[in-house]
Structure 1
């Protein structure tokens, strides 16, 4: 490969990226559950190893690890559904509050614009008809999404079980791809990949708990309606880098508008979100996630956008750990090293236009 002309090698790289993206789009229904199961199995490895060290049979250790995962998932679902049920119990009050806000908005439009109440009603009925016409398509898409979620939940324990059960076979398969002289590098890369995935995902779990407890608790003390539900929504949307915190805040504002006639809770929400997000990003995240996931902001945002287009919400959540693993692999390959530089956060202090040593890869001889 290194003997090929540079233009040919770069063309092969770009073609490979294109084919990889096409493969993910075509097979995302199969590929994404496998990637999620792989990440979950990595997180469950410490539990599995702990049980094996206690002389628990391997099959039983895997099953107990999966049961622990499922129990944790059921607790999260129960807690979230309990908050949703409280929101639904307040539906009569929510309906009255929404109608009040609509009337206030209508009066404001009458005062500030030339639209009368009748014109507003006509516009509302026209938009309502368009919405009703598209309900069938939306329900069909929702049915497909629900069926996909249930299929994912059904396959996930099976995938995780098989990945843990055949982990030694899979590791041997990876080693057989490389010549013996490169096995030390392969082993190092595999250990670092495991560390990156565990530190990232476990760190995100700690972040979720922190945001739910601190943000939800502060909002609860301040008397903001449905404070814990808002905290849960913000905690999970915060997993989407850079975009999630804004989307979660917007949903929280909408929940408050639907539940309260006052605007003070919205101000309280925004202030608390800013403070908690600052603490999370500058104090908590660097410690719980660690310095393993070194990806620059530009690559992170582009990765989230590409991940959402390739694999939807799952692609957005998994974009950062996947990019971190790719960066780790690229750092150890001479042919793809430049891609690791593009993804990393090691910004040169000076311009390569003025310092020629910044133009070459580590280990290469400078050209006189």
Structure 2
């Protein structure tokens, strides 16, 4: 007897067991799957450039290498620009540490005066909090080390994925029955378009947000505004959660380098305006992915991605779910899940539609 013919509790148990097994395997093979996932997305992004070189009579291997070299040159330029800003920040670090220590001491004295908690007790509480957060810090460092390992493996994976592109596509077509080839072709075409538009849109959006952040911080007189603005734009790649962290950095810098609170208020107002522009203008018009994921699911999958694969999982979660939605929308049994992930909000409940249908049937003559 097939699973779909079994009672609901057996079907749900089988699905739950399958999901648990899938998540366990993905967690155990994270060191292998994370670089492969990044390589797959970046290969799809570089594929049009590689095809353009091939159309101009350049051999396939050299076309792939040229495409990868252009990508590496762009990334190197961005990191060189950020490194110059980081060097300037490092030169002023001792003075910033001294000012931060003074502000911290004043804060401790204020807490003692208002809450009667001694400075020694506050230091003890801070040490305990740091001790309890060692596991989180270790997890973050492991995530960063994992990200560094991804950087070394990515070029190899990208090269071979582009080189064996035809072999991989033929395998996907041959796995499924011939009558499903049209659906497979549609899924692959939409997946390629969704990933390309999503990643390119994110790059353009990140550049614009970095310019807006840096301009606002420079006008407000916040030191190292360009560096903090660019970091904030990169953090903004983490949906919904990154923007909150991005606001804290310039507020902290303004607190350390300036007296009073007017600059901090200005930073918060400026970042709220930039976030409004980003969420209501840039994302809908520039990040023009063919698949739209609703806000609730976006937050959930980002948190799940962080729990499963750490920092890389947060970046991979949205495009991964976008691919899943494309597949769900093409399979009749999975269409409800595709609707759950999407951002189209029904105006009428299904129960009301059923009631209206029953009323119409009752009115019609037999």
Same fold (TM over 0.5): yes
CA displacement, residues 321-362 of structure 1 (integer Å, 9 cap, x when unaligned) = 111110110111122222112211222111122212999xxx
2:17 paired residue among 15, 18, 30: 15
Gaps of 5+ in 2: 358-366
Structure 1 residues 102 and 357: alpha-carbon distance in aligned structure 2, compared to 1, 3 A threshold: same
What's the counterpart of residue 104 of structure 1?
Answer: 106
Separation in structure 2 between the aligned mates of residue 134 and residue 350 of structure 1, nearest angstrom: 47
Structure 1 residues 111 and 325: alpha-carbon distance in aligned structure 2, compared to 1, 3 A threshold: same
CA displacement, residues 198-225 of structure 1 (integer Å, 9 cap, x when unaligned) = 1111111011100111221122122111
CA offset at residue 15 of structure 1? Answer: 2.7
**Higher relative helix content:** 2
Separation in structure 1 between the aligned mates of residue 143 and residue 308 of structure 2, nearest angstrom: 16
Structure 1 residues 184 and 236: alpha-carbon distance in aligned structure 2, compared to 1, 3 A threshold: same
1:198 and 2:226 matched: no
Separation in structure 1 between the aligned mates of residue 356 and residue 24 of structure 2, nearest angstrom: 34
CA displacement, residues 277-324 of structure 1 (integer Å, 9 cap, x when unaligned) = 111111111111115121111211111111111111111111111111
What's the counterpart of residue 4 of structure 1?
Answer: 5
Q: Give the superposed CA RMSD.
A: 2.5
Separation in structure 1 between the aligned mates of residue 291 and residue 356 of structure 2, nearest angstrom: 23
1:211 and 2:209 matched: yes
Structure 1 residues 26 and 112: alpha-carbon distance in aligned structure 2, compared to 1, 3 A threshold: same
Separation in structure 1 between the aligned mates of residue 355 and residue 45 of structure 2, nearest angstrom: 40
Separation in structure 2 between the aligned mates of residue 16 and residue 328 of structure 1, nearest angstrom: 21
1:256 and 2:254 matched: yes
CA offset at residue 144 of structure 1? Answer: 4.8
CA offset at residue 39 of structure 1? Answer: 0.5
Structure 1 residues 303 and 229: alpha-carbon distance in aligned structure 2, compared to 1, 3 A threshold: same
CA offset at residue 3 of structure 1? Answer: 5.8
| Residues 187 and 327, structure 2, Cα contact 8 Å, conserved in 1 | yes
Matched pairs, number: 355
Separation in structure 2 between the aligned mates of residue 2 and residue 102 of structure 1, nearest angstrom: 62
1:174 and 2:172 matched: yes
What's the counterpart of residue 314 of structure 1?
Answer: 312
What's the counterpart of residue 59 of structure 1?
Answer: 61
Structure 1 residues 251 and 358: alpha-carbon distance in aligned structure 2, compared to 1, 3 A threshold: farther
CA offset at residue 132 of structure 1? Answer: 7.8
Separation in structure 1 between the aligned mates of residue 197 and residue 329 of structure 2, nearest angstrom: 19
1:328 and 2:326 matched: yes
Give the secondary-structure state (helix, strand or coil) at the position aligned to 2:50.
helix
Structure 1 residues 154 and 104: alpha-carbon distance in aligned structure 2, compared to 1, 3 A threshold: same
1:356 paired residue among 343, 354, 357: 354
1:305 paired residue among 297, 303, 306: 303
Gaps of 5+ in 1: 360-368
| Residues 327 and 343, structure 1, Cα contact 8 Å, conserved in 2 | yes
What's the counterpart of residue 226 of structure 1?
Answer: 224
Separation in structure 2 between the aligned mates of residue 323 and residue 334 of structure 1, nearest angstrom: 18
| Residues 89 and 224, structure 2, Cα contact 8 Å, conserved in 1 | yes
CA offset at residue 85 of structure 1? Answer: 1.7
What's the counterpart of residue 114 of structure 1?
Answer: 116
What's the counterpart of residue 94 of structure 1?
Answer: 96
CA offset at residue 46 of structure 1? Answer: 1.3
Structure 1 residues 50 and 223: alpha-carbon distance in aligned structure 2, compared to 1, 3 A threshold: same
Separation in structure 2 between the aligned mates of residue 257 and residue 273 of structure 1, nearest angstrom: 16
| Residues 352 and 358, structure 1, Cα contact 8 Å, conserved in 2 | no
- Of 125-134 and 83-92, more deviation after overlay is shown by 125-134
CA offset at residue 68 of structure 1? Answer: 1.3
What's the counterpart of residue 124 of structure 1?
Answer: 123
1:81 paired residue among 61, 83, 89: 83
1:187 and 2:185 matched: yes
Structure 1 residues 186 and 94: alpha-carbon distance in aligned structure 2, compared to 1, 3 A threshold: same
Give the secondary-structure state (helix, strand or coil) at the position aligned to 2:250.
helix
